[in-house]
Chains A and B, each alone.
Chain A
Amino acid sequence: MINLAGRDILHAWGKFVFTGIGLGLLIGVTLVMAGVYRGMVDDAKVLLENSGADLWVVQQDTIGPYAESSSLYDDLWRSIRSMPGVAQAANVTYLTMQVQHETHDIRAMVTGISVGGPGTPGWPPSLVAGRQITRSHYEAVADLSSGLRLGDRLRIRRNDYTVVGLTRRMVSSNGDPMIFIPLRDAQEAQFLKDNDAILQQRRRTAENPAFQHPDVLQHIFALQSNNPFVNAILVRLEPTSDVDRVANSIHRAQRLTVYTRLQMQRILVGKLIATSARQIGMFLVILATVSAAIVAFIIYTLTLGKIREIAVLKLIGTRNRTISAMIMQQAMTLGTIGFVVGKISATFSAPFFPKHVLLEPQDSIAGFGAVLLICLLSSLIAIHAALQVDPAEAIGG
């Protein structure tokens, strides 16, 4: 028996190829969207991985520092450092902001890292160029994805910084490049008010009758200009210590909220990128529906164009099964062409996306399965139409 579907496709290959390419571009977008989601999850994991922390200590009852704001006194780390099972503890600040570079600005996650060196939690574990921060002020290490180069100067709030080192794949879970600066500078950037605000605050404080003693006023001014806060304390444990036990003891001793890496990952994936994930999910549903409509429409139209031939096929004794298989195979072929075009276009367009796109083989396999399923279901309408054809129609009136 010859393959009727194959012969028909060869005969009308133009229709199949062009529809397949159109469908393929849709599938390509779908794969890229799935890749964007995978990329965000991957970014979140890399962010946590690169922080070098086993525990995140944050303000009580918050889900900071990435998903919510959190602030802690910057001297708490010492007491945490001395707790059993803790190898290292370091302050860290995170602030997503616009960073000025020459004429334009860059959206970046400015990360304040405490004095120390590579290996200190919060520090970039490795550089692709340049060196780590060695001075306590006005040096920065930036991620390659910011577009900054060694020696570039950038402005964060009121201070200028020189890029001394570059990292790769150090981005926030939103895909914003990270820029590391010394903790003191970062605290200032985050909490320092501008001159007008300081003057205003001083005027208000001075007007308060309760503070009318000059010495008191000076102390208050000094307190107000001090910024003793950080967003989180990153803790690295001794290799032998039990993560949950140490987390619990820090929580009880310091009345702070403590997250393990697994919990932090759940917060990032489940809360921070949940909205994006839902958007992408919606998008996938819409694309799947549109693809299904296209396949159904094309296969249905192609089948209607062959109604007379189908009547003849039935008259000369072709089984319904053979006719259904013919239509189904055509739908599958369309889906396969679409998938191949989609996979190729996704692979080639992914690097040009502004976000990190992670094309996972398992997503491609699932996508291929979904495409075939959609094509199968879409062909049912055409198959129904074909099976309705009365072989008597071939004889005519």
Chain B
Amino acid sequence: MTTQGIHIENLRKRYGSGDTAVDALKSVNMDVTPGEVVGLIGPSGSGKSTLLKCLGAVTEPSGGKMVLGDQVIYDEGWQVQDLRALRRDRIGFVFQAPYLISFLDATDNVALPSMLAGTPNAEARARALELLHALDVAHRAKALPMQLSGGEQQRVSIARGLVNRPPVILADEPTAPLDSERALAVIRILNEMARKFETAIIVVTHDEKIIPTFKRLYHIRDGITHEEVGEGRSFQER
């Protein structure tokens, strides 16, 4: 068991009860080390989104254990009082649609999670600008989301996910709306950021273009994860 990155052990989630109960997650086991980007793929209805919601602390699992960084957040029950603060400080979210706040410019979109955590505006903006530089969109810092291209929006949303330096980033189909060049660029950026900020990143995807780029890949089928490693990967039940 690692004490850094992400550690998930026998995680279960059942929606509803009785006859209509759905076991969305039956046994999920994953480990992601800091600085690593792993892929998570699986057919529709296999439980990918459910897993992100549990890890993202917006849906309560039914059992199992989750560790983020050095903090056990779930062990047959939440181990954290303030899930909102947990999400704000320790988890970065990157979505399929970038879901930027339409009335804030790129800088403030990125700075917002930092401001919410109490950082003074100027400092949060400076940090945001630094990230926008790193992601090569600093020239669009004053633009509103609707004035940005899809790829630029995605990079801004990655910057937002990184701004509080969370130990964990959860990305849900981050490349879906992008062409393959831009999609590969996003994955490259995520890898760079993971290394640079020692972040553990999980990327949920259907995107054939980017699947080969993951050194480690988890398959999820019927709520059970299987791990595949490296070139000429072989399945291995966990």
Query: Which residue of the partner chain B has the closest CB to A392?
Result: B58
Distance of A390 Cα from B108 Cα, bound (Å) = 23
Is there contact, CB below 8 Å, between A316 and B87?
yes
Distance of A205 Cα from B11 Cα, bound (Å) = 114
Q: Does A1 contact B (CB under 8 A)?
A: yes
Digitize A303-321: 1 where CB-to-B-CB distance is under 8 Å, 0 elsewhere.
0001011001111111100
Distance of A392 Cα from B13 Cα, bound (Å) = 15
Is there contact, CB below 8 Å, between B121 and A1?
yes
Stretch at the interface among A5-13, A88-96, A206-214: A5-13
Query: Which residue of the partner chain B has the closest CB to A308?
Result: B99
Knowing A316-B93, A316-B112, A394-B99, the reply to whether A7 touches B104 (Cβ < 8 A) is yes
Is there contact, CB below 8 Å, between B102 and A11?
yes
Q: Does A365 contact B (CB under 8 A)?
A: no
Query: Among the listed A12, A317, A396, A397, which residue makes an inter-chain contact with B116, where contact means beta carbons less than 8 Å apart?
Result: A317
Knowing A1-B121, A7-B108, A316-B93, the reply to whether A12 touches B87 (Cβ < 8 A) is no
Is there contact, CB below 8 Å, between A396 and B49?
yes
Knowing A317-B88, A392-B58, A395-B172, the reply to whether A11 touches B103 (Cβ < 8 A) is yes
Distance of A10 Cα from B108 Cα, bound (Å) = 14
Q: Does B133 contact A (CB under 8 A)?
A: no
Is there contact, CB below 8 Å, between B108 and A396?
no
Query: Which residue of the partner chain A has the closest CB to B163?
Result: A316
Is there contact, CB below 8 Å, between B103 and A8?
yes
List, in ascending order, chain B residues with CB within 8 A of A128's CB.
Answer: none
Is there contact, CB below 8 Å, between A394 and B49?
no
A-B contact count (CB 8 A): 77
List, in ascending order, chain A residues with CB within 8 A of B84's CB.
Answer: 314, 317-319
Query: Which residue of the partner chain B has the closest CB to A318?
Result: B116
Is there contact, CB below 8 Å, between B116 and A394?
no
Is there contact, CB below 8 Å, between B58 and A391?
yes
Query: Which residue of the partner chain B has the closest CB to A317?
Result: B88
Knowing A2-B121, A317-B113, the reply to whether A394 touches B102 (Cβ < 8 A) is no
A309 to chain B, nearest CB (A): 5
Knowing A392-B59, A395-B172, the reply to whether A309 touches B99 (Cβ < 8 A) is yes
B52 to chain A, nearest CB (A): 5
Distance of A390 Cα from B49 Cα, bound (Å) = 14
CB neighbors of A among B113-167 (8 A) = 113, 115-118, 121, 144, 160
B154 to chain A, nearest CB (A): 14
Number of A interface residues, CB 8 Å? 27
Q: Does B95 contact A (CB under 8 A)?
A: yes
Query: Among the listed B89, B93, B160, which residue makes an inter-chain contact with A394, where contact means beta carbons less than 8 Å apart?
Result: B93
Query: Among the listed A10, A309, A317, which residue makes an inter-chain contact with B117, where contact means beta carbons less than 8 Å apart?
Result: A317
List, in ascending order, chain A residues with CB within 8 A of B56's CB.
Answer: 315, 392, 395
Question: Which residue, of A312, A322, A395, A397, has the highest number of chain B Cβ atoms within 10 A?
Answer: A395
Knowing A309-B99, A390-B58, A396-B96, the reply to whether A1 touches B115 (Cβ < 8 A) is yes
List, in ascending order, chain B residues with CB within 8 A of A4's CB.
Answer: 103
Distance of A308 Cα from B97 Cα, bound (Å) = 11
Is there contact, CB below 8 Å, between B95 and A395?
yes
List, in ascending order, chain B residues with CB within 8 A of A312's CB.
Answer: 93, 95, 99, 101
Digitize B72-92: 1 where CB-to-A-CB distance is under 8 Å, 0 elsewhere.
000000000000110111000
Q: Does B53 contact A (CB under 8 A)?
A: yes
Distance of A4 Cα from B52 Cα, bound (Å) = 27
CB neighbors of A among B156-213 (8 A) = 160, 172
List, in ascending order, chain B residues with CB within 8 A of A1's CB.
Answer: 115-116, 118, 121
Is there contact, CB below 8 Å, between B101 and A309?
yes
Question: Which residue, of A8, A308, A317, has the highest number of chain B Cβ atoms within 10 A?
Answer: A317
Is there contact, CB below 8 Å, between A317 and B103?
no
Query: Which residue of the partner chain B has the closest CB to A7?
Result: B103
A207 to chain B, nearest CB (A): 92
24 A-B residue pairs with CB within 8 Å: A1-B118, A2-B104, A4-B103, A8-B103, A11-B102, A309-B101, A312-B99, A312-B101, A314-B84, A315-B87, A315-B93, A316-B112, A317-B89, A317-B116, A319-B116, A391-B58, A391-B87, A392-B58, A394-B93, A395-B53, A395-B93, A395-B95, A396-B49, A396-B96
Further contacts, 13 of them, CB under 8 A, given A312-B95, A316-B87, A395-B56: A7-B104, A12-B103, A306-B102, A308-B99, A312-B99, A312-B101, A316-B88, A317-B84, A317-B87, A317-B89, A317-B117, A392-B56, A392-B58
Q: Lowest 6 A-B CB distances belong to which pairs?
A: A317-B88, A11-B103, A392-B58, A8-B103, A391-B58, A312-B99
